Amino acid sequence: MMGSALAFPARENGNEVRLVGTPLDREIIDACKATGQHPKFDRPFPEGIEYYQFEQWKEAVRDVDFVIGGVSSFGVDWFLENVLSELDPSVPVLSVTKGLIDLEDGTLFSYPDYWEDGLRKKGIQRTVNAIGGPCTSYELVFHDQTEVAFCGRETAQIRMMKEAMQTSYYHISLTNDVIGLESAVALKNGYALAIAMTIGLVNRHHGPDAGLHFNSQAAAFYQGVKEMRLLLEMQGASRDCENIGIGDLYVTVYGGRTRKVGILLGEGKTCEEALEILSGVTLESLVVSRRVHRAVVRKAGLGKLDLADFPMLCHAADVLDNGKDAELPWDEFTFDETE
């Protein structure tokens, strides 16, 4: 959906835009051809966009300035094997996929790094750029004012992409800090999941008509930011990338798929029950929560960090995989700096 949403600023900025579906998107592309509108968006695409099924992707990328990849984290390896490995290495790539790969020693690897490493093993040299920041697809389509960042090691490429994509409502910062930005916007998914549990907990304890209560959300938000900052320092992220991650955390708590699953868990549903209720919804927050938790446990085992500094992350992992009740360990979030 984010890849499709980006067709709006791209086309409205005067570019020729070709939208290509994965093999799972056949019905969506057929609908776009028939109606000029994505089935999940409430307004039509700008005039002039062309639509292609996946079998036509090589035709669609002929003579393009750059390619935007919008697969989910579940399609990372598929994108590597079926697109990046076949795409002309001279064609720049910009990814909207958010996530991290955890290695055996607890290192957290960004998707651009993962793709570049996989391509090097095939003898292909390519840098992959990425987008990060507080942006939901449906609000981008609505033209709500949106601030994001493009990251990449080749400055000329991301400057070219900014020139092509920036509009009066889509504003773009630039950074060479790929691991910092990618870590920030991936980590927020796991922490937004835990923060959203507080909404479900209010529903469970006080009924669905109790309304929103912000003390508990704010307390969980504070702890989420605290743990995110520790992890981002470990990743060597710049302060600007940290701040973008916090902005992304805010928007993710207040809308979208991660909020829905967090509320269900807070209401007392098991992870399996929540997945059944949200059948067909891509839940990247579950992937990043588990991967980051594994990485932190490994680093703690190597004496590189203190697991006690990450009570919210550990709690979310226990809720997802060990059947623990979602009630947050509030007292573990407090601190005492007195002498």
Q: Identify whether the C-beta of residue 145 lies closer than 8 Å to the C-beta of residue 122.
A: no
pLDDT at 223: 97
- 294 token code pair: 């594994």
Question: Counting Cβ atoms within 10 Å, is residue 59 exposed (0-12), middle (13-18) or buried (19+)?
Answer: exposed
125-157 pLDDT, tens digit per residue, is 999 999 999 999 999 999 999 999 999 999 999
Question: Alpha-carbon Rg of the chain, whole angstroms?
Answer: 20
pLDDT at 279: 82
Q: Identify whether the C-beta of residue 161 lies closer than 8 Å to the C-beta of residue 150.
A: yes
Domain 2-176: what homologous superfamily? NAD(P)-binding Rossmann-like Domain (3.40.50.720)
Spatial distance between the Cα atoms of 3 and 124, rounded to a whole number of angstroms:
25
- What angle is formed at CA 307 by the lines to CA 216 and CA 319, rounded to 5 degrees? 50
pTM of this prediction? 0.93
pLDDT at 283: 79
Question: Counting Cβ atoms within 10 Å, is residue 282 exposed (0-12), middle (13-18) or buried (19+)?
Answer: middle
First to last CA, the chain: 52
Strand-by-strand arrangement of the 67-69 sheet: 67-69, 93-95, 128-132, 146-151, 170-175
What lies within 8 Å, CB to CB, of 43 at 6+ separation is 37, 141, 142
Residues of the chain with pLDDT under 70: none
Spatial distance between the Cα atoms of 28 and 22, rounded to a whole number of angstroms:
10
pLDDT at 237: 96
- 261 token code pair: 């699953």
Which H or E run includes 256? none
Domain 180-333: state its class.
mainly alpha
**Do the strands 100-102 and 67-69 form a parallel or antiparallel pair, or are they unpaired?**
unpaired
Torsion angle of alpha carbons 156, 110, 83, 120, nearest 10°? 80
Domain boundaries, the chain: 2-176, 180-333
Domains 2-176 and 180-333 share a fold: no
